Amino acid sequence: MQRKRILLIIGGGIAAVKCPELIRLLRAEGVAITPVLTEAGAQFVTPTAISALAGEAAHTALFDLTREAEIGHIQLSRAADLVVVAPATADLMAKMANGLAGDLASTLLLATDKKVLIAPSMNVRMWHHPATQRNLTQLREDGVATIGPNAGDMACGEHGLGRMAEPAEILAAIRAQLADGPLTGKHVLVTSGPTHEPIDPVRYIANRSSGAQGTALARALRDLGANITFVTGPASVPPPEGVKVVPVETAQQMFEAVQNALPADAAIFAAAVADWRVANASAQKMKKDSTGTAPALSFTENPDILATVSQMGAGRPALVVGFAAETENVQAHATAKRARKGCDWIVANDVSPESGVMGGAHNTVTIIDAAGAETWAQMPKVQVAQKLAERIAAQLTKETS
């Protein structure tokens, strides 16, 4: 991390007392630090102490006339390689999620064009409050990365989630954000999770996809430096941090989100998208009648997202990868799917109930491309994702060299 610069925003929480240690660790690795304290943050650690540790003046006021004559807040927000907010209080998270800019810290966060990493810290009840969780969801959708919070005893005497991550943990997260990987500068679109196709306002048709493989893949691609747009159905696993998250429910919504996310250097379609939707979905909950006759459902085909992107011609991603979830004749069905859809690769796996793949932690995949089929041994989904991400990076690097 030599010669990297971090804009460190220190919020107003007791966890601010951990920031001197974080600054020490960063400077030991050759990182330059521009510190900014909120008014409340300066109540826990003084600007004088932070300036001395960082080796640079600590900024606190938006209306510093000398600096603002040069549009100082814009310069500060763009000069760093990464913006780190520690502690990220409930108040700061709310300002970020809602685009408020009433002080120097929030103005910098709104004006920056750099990656942002936050280390939340607050009372356990504040962390679990619906407003905070809504703000957290919005920040993740905006591509803000998070580290923590951890569970433990708090200064207020309560116990639970809300402790800011330790300085060493924040340092590791900063390393990951600043890493220059083979996919740096590449935009990769990843879809994940199931889709829910409504029958009525209460019921829907879905599948057992947890979204674990797609999430792990998006995380692995992010760690190789890619800028990720993550379009996800209602998965049971949380989305990865530090990517742009686009939540959807239905196949039609996923189709539209994918179109809006293009252009991309690569598109990875790991979502388990429903092939059909209910054409005669009811606007009201369906009721039983006295005859006990089940309602007749009429189906219509959903948009074929993989085929549409694979065959789009101008603007097509350089690499399009589909997934094939099969229960029999896995390789044969997946090979036929690749030819039918027109994608570059198919990642095929056996999702029959006895395999335990859907909702499980392990996967066995076969990669099918123009050269043939390559079957990998069973391994955790995280390892599958890492190996596949490296293969994607190698392909994109070869195509641009």
**Residue list, annotated binding site for CTP:** 275, 285, 303-306, 323, 337, 341
CA distance between the termini of the chain: 26
DSSP 364: -
Residue 223's φ and ψ, nearest 5 degrees, are -70, -15
Query: Which has the closest alpha carbon to 270: 373, 345, 369, 161?
Result: 345
156 is catalytic: yes
Asked if 378 contacts 363 with a C-beta cutoff of 8 angstroms, the reply is yes
State the Cα–Cα distance between residues 245 and 229, nearest whole angstrom. 6
Strand order from edge to edge, sheet including 365-369 = 244-247, 227-232, 187-192, 266-269, 319-326, 345-350, 365-369, 372-375
Structure tokens at 110: 């709104």
Helix residue ranges per DSSP H, 80-192? 90-98, 104-111, 124-128, 130-141, 167-178
Query: Which has the closest alpha carbon to 97: 81, 110, 115, 78?
Result: 110
∠ CA 312-318-323 to the nearest 5 degrees? 80
Asked if 11 contacts 36 with a C-beta cutoff of 8 angstroms, the reply is no
State the Cα–Cα distance between residues 38 and 106, nearest whole angstrom. 9
Structure tokens at 40: 């409340």
**Locate tokens 């991550």: which residue?**
165
Given 17, 52, 57, 156, the catalytic residue: 156
Query: Catalytic residue positions?
Result: 156
